[in-house]
Structure 1
C-alpha cells in the first residue's frame, strides 16, 4: 500500500495527529504543519468536523473540558474550517514534505477532503460501522484506514467483509479508546492477530501520551503508527494528556527508524563471533599459575587463577588441568600450556 509519497513496504508511516489541538485557529494549524515537518514524521493528520452534518444538540462531551463551548455541537462548530481553507492547508502540508490526512466525520467532510486531494481515508473508532460514510469514501477512491478502539472482533469482521467486496486497499489499526491509554490496554497482541486474521497492513493508533508504546509497536511490527501531538502538555484540549509533544514526536521518529534498521539487519551469531576473534582473545581468560610451581607438582584447584588476555589454555578447561603433573618449574602468573603438563 502506498499513501501519498509513503510506501508502506519501505518504512512504517508515522502519522502526527493534530486533531483539534489547533483550537479552531487556522494559524495554529499551519504552525503544527511547520513543527511536525521538522520531526521527520511522514504525515500530519487533522479532523474535519462540520457540526451541522454530524451532531445534534444532544451530542455530549466525552470530557466536559471546555470553558467556552456550552455544548459539544458548539465545540465542533468552533473547530470548523472552510472548504478553501482545508484545500490550502493540505497544499501547504504537502509543500513541507508531509502527507496530508484528515478524518472525515460526515459525507460533506468527505467531499471537502476529496477536493483537498486527501490520499487516504482515516476512519475514527466511533464511525467504524457507519457504513454509509465508509461507502462514500470507497467511491472517492484511496485506502481506507480503520481504527478499532471500541470494536469487538465480530464488529471488525463485519466492516472488513463489507469493505473487502468493494476495495482491497484496507488497513486496520489496533487502538484502545482510553485517554491516556495505560500499558495494560495497549493491546500489542492484537497487531499480529489483525495481520493474521485479515492479511492487511496493520496500524497502531496510540493514546498513551508517551513514546514507549509506539516504540513497542514498531518492534512488534506495524505498517502505520499514529500518535496525537501538542506543542506542550500544558495546552488546552481534551486529548492533551494522551498526546506527545513535538519534541517527543521527534524522539519517537528517531527511535522507530533505528528499530527498522535493526530489524532489516539480523545478526548471525557465528559470523559475528568469528569477526570478534581478536576481541575474544583480549576479553576472555586463560589458566595461569596462582603461585610458583615446582617440577613434579600435582596441580590442585588452589594452584590456578584465570586471567586476561586468553593466550594459553582456555579457562573453561580448568577441570582437565587439575590433577596433572608439572614437567618443569612454572612461575607465578605464567600461562599453562599442554606441553608443560603430564
Structure 2
C-alpha cells in the first residue's frame, strides 16, 4: 500500500485527520534505532513518521546554550546536534524504509543546508518548527520548492503567525497550522485546545494539534473540535534517555490514540436522527419495555386502579406508559395476578 497523499489535507476536506508520529531525537543518534522506530510506527496506524534534521556546523554555534542540560555525554548543545546527524544517504535510506512501510516521511529542517539536503531526499511537505516561524530565509527556501508547509505556533505571537500564513498564501503555497505549546510535558491548562477552532476561522486552512502532554487526551479532543492534523512524540519506553521522553506516548499508547481518533471520526461521520434510531430499536423496545399486568387476583367487574396494577417484561402488551388510559376501566372477567392485560379484558 502506498503512503497516504498529504495533499488530501487541502484537496479532500472530509479526509481523515493526518496523524504524524514524531521521532525527533528519540533515536539518540542511532541509525538502527531510527529504522526501528519506523517499523514500530508502521504498526500504530499513523500516516507519517517525522524526524528532525540537524547539521550542527550549519545550525549551531558556541553560543547555542542548553534549554535543559539533560545529556551527560555531550559537553555542549552543539556536540549533541552533531551526534544527532545522519548523512544524506542515511536520510534517503530512512525515507525509503518509511515508504516501504506505507508511511509518509517528514523531517523538520533546522538549517538552510538541511532544507537543501531534504529537498534532494524528496520531502513531500515541510514542517516549520516553533522557533523558525519568522525565519524568512527558511520560509523563502521552502516556498521555492512548491511543497506544502506545516507551521507550528508554539512560541509565536499571533501577529507573527498572521505574517507567515499571509506570506505562504501570497506565494500560493498550501499551508496548515498547528496549535502548539512549547512545554515538555505540557500541562492541560496550557494546551490551548480552544485555538483549534480559532485558528481555523482565522486562516481558513487545515489546522492541527502538535501535542506535548505525554497523554492521548488532547489529540482525541482536538479531532472532535475539527483538527485535521495530529502530531505527537513517540518513544519505545518512558525509561529511555532523551529530552522529549516525558512528553511522548509509548508505541502502545500511540496505537490506542490512533484507534481513538479513527473511532471518533466514524462517530462524527454518522450523525444520528433520534427518532429514526428509535424506529430501528423497536424490537428491543418491546423486549426491554414493560406491559401492564394485574397486581393481584381480580374478579370480573373490578375497577382498575394504580393499586391493583403492576407491570412485567416484555413490552408486547399494553405499555406501562399508557397506565392512565386503563385507570377506571372494568374487567369483563376475572384475571389472575401477573396476568398480562389486553384491551379485550375491559368492558
Answer yes or no: same fold by TM over 0.5.
yes
| 2:99 is the alignment partner of 1:117 | no
The residue that corresponds to 2:304 in the other structure is 299
Q: Deviations over 1:172-201 (max 9, x none)?
A: 011111211222222222112111111101
Q: Which range moved further: 294-303 or 240-249?
A: 294-303
Given that 1:4 and 1:119 are in contact with CA atoms closer than 8 Å, whether structure 2 keeps it comes out as no
The residue that corresponds to 1:318 in the other structure is 323
The residue that corresponds to 1:133 in the other structure is 138
1:247 to 228, 248, 252: 252
Q: Deviations over 1:301-323 (max 9, x none)?
A: 22121211012221112233333
| 2:80 is the alignment partner of 1:79 | no
Q: Which range moved further: 217-226 or 105-114?
A: 217-226
How far the C-alpha of 1:341 sits from its partner, in A, is 3.2
How far the C-alpha of 1:296 sits from its partner, in A, is 2.4
Given that 1:91 and 1:116 are in contact with CA atoms closer than 8 Å, whether structure 2 keeps it comes out as no
How far the C-alpha of 1:240 sits from its partner, in A, is 0.1
| 2:101 is the alignment partner of 1:96 | yes
Q: Deviations over 1:110-168 (max 9, x none)?
A: 00100110110001111111122111111112110011112232222122122211124
Paired residue secondary structure (2:176): strand
Equivalent runs, 1:1-342 vs 2, <5 Å:
5-6=5-6, 7-8=8-9, 9=12, 10-341=15-346
Paired residue secondary structure (1:53): helix
Could you list the runs of 5+ residues in structure 1 that have no partner in the other structure?
none
Q: Deviations over 1:82-121 (max 9, x none)?
A: 2222122212221221111000111111001001101100
Could you list the runs of 5+ residues in structure 2 that have no partner in the other structure?
none
Paired residue secondary structure (2:311): strand
How far the C-alpha of 1:4 sits from its partner, in A, is 5.9
Given that 2:177 and 2:205 are in contact with CA atoms closer than 8 Å, whether structure 1 keeps it comes out as yes
Q: Which range moved further: 164-173 or 14-23?
A: 164-173
For residues 243 and 85 of structure 1, the distance between their equivalents in structure 2, rounded to whole angstroms, comes to 25
For residues 254 and 57 of structure 1, the distance between their equivalents in structure 2, rounded to whole angstroms, comes to 44
How far the C-alpha of 1:288 sits from its partner, in A, is 1.1
CA distance 1:91–1:276, shift in 2 (3 Å): same
For residues 243 and 274 of structure 1, the distance between their equivalents in structure 2, rounded to whole angstroms, comes to 45
For residues 4 and 334 of structure 1, the distance between their equivalents in structure 2, rounded to whole angstroms, comes to 63
For residues 22 and 244 of structure 1, the distance between their equivalents in structure 2, rounded to whole angstroms, comes to 15
Tell me the C-alpha RMSD between the 2 structures. 1.7
Q: Deviations over 1:51-94 (max 9, x none)?
A: 22222222222221111112212211211112222122212221
For residues 5 and 197 of structure 1, the distance between their equivalents in structure 2, rounded to whole angstroms, comes to 25
Q: Deviations over 1:229-265 (max 9, x none)?
A: 1111111001001101111122222222222222222
TM-score by length of 1: 0.94
How far the C-alpha of 1:213 sits from its partner, in A, is 1.8
Given that 2:23 and 2:235 are in contact with CA atoms closer than 8 Å, whether structure 1 keeps it comes out as yes
How far the C-alpha of 1:326 sits from its partner, in A, is 2.6
